Amino acid sequence: LSKNSIENYSYDIKKLISYLEENDIKTSPLTITHEVLKQFIYSISKAINPRSQARLISGLRNFFDYLIFENYRETNPLDLIESPKIGRKLPDTLSVEDIDNLINTIDLSYQYNGINLGERNRAIIETLYSCGLRVSELIELKISDLFFEEGFIKVTGKGDKQRFVPIGETTQKFINIWRGIRNHIDVQAHSKDILFLNYKGNKLTRAMIFTIIRKLVEKSGLKKTVSPHTFRHSFATHLLENGADLRAIQMMLGHESITTTEIYMHLDRSHLSDVLNKFHPRK
């Protein structure tokens, strides 16, 4: 599992332990009953959305399956507890105009400690959008992963699976501008090959990417909720709207199953009509 998955699942177990302690319930994961778990899930359902509830229940169910496997328990107290129905959430997207406005809002002269971070921020946004990267893939992107002569970057995604994603000349240009600036940073030993750095020469955190985008959205006056993943959704949606093949989009996004990619078909049904009109003999 990825570091983030491990942290999330561990956090869910700690939430359960905290609930038992706060309510002075004398039990443990080895002896906890179905009724106590039902009360715990009911108590947190007021604070988290159905999707988070479903993840928590799934994580705890797997935890108790592990205890059974290791002979600590004989039954899983979550077997009779159902996950909430969460449906299929359509991702938020930005228009091409929205993205252009956000990028034009970036102050390219912005410096901190003598390092031009404005150019870095432009390269970050352009890379997120033009390559459809997850935020974890962006912060781990290495200089040795850039194959600009071939027009590709190598991306390490979930489960350490690698894929090659095309990268356009415009994005290459902005990355190269940043690389010229990066050469003047005293890079820390553990980040020598990392592309995007802070002014101290360390790898950027996920939280820093969210902060960069949040400040940019506020400055631009855009009245939408935007995260790093919004650029990934926009990447896929704009490709689909312009006639790209769903299988090609799946490969570029690094989706294990094409059913995950199919969610973008719901965003622009006019694309389906265009395909029918263009390719069906009875159009």
Q: Which residues are catalytic?
A: 134, 158, 229, 232, 255, 264
User: What residues contact residue 192 under an 8 Å CB cut-off, 6+ apart?
Assistant: none
User: Could you count the other beta carbons within 10 Å of the beta carbon of residue 43?
Assistant: 13
Rounded to whole angstroms, the Cα distance separating 190 from 241 reads: 41
199-204 contacts: CB < 8 A, separation 24 or more? 199/112, 199/113, 199/115, 199/117, 203/139, 203/140, 204/139
Q: Which residues pair with 39 in a beta bridge?
A: none
Instruction: Give how far Cα 11 sits from Cα of 4, 39, 66, 95, 114, Å.
Output: 10, 18, 17, 36, 39
Q: Which residues pair with 164 in a beta bridge?
A: 154
249 with 261: CB under 8 angstroms?
Answer: yes
DSSP annotation of 254 reads T
90 with 236: CB under 8 angstroms?
Answer: no
Instruction: Give how far Cα 88 sits from Cα of 43, 239, 266, Å.
Output: 25, 21, 10
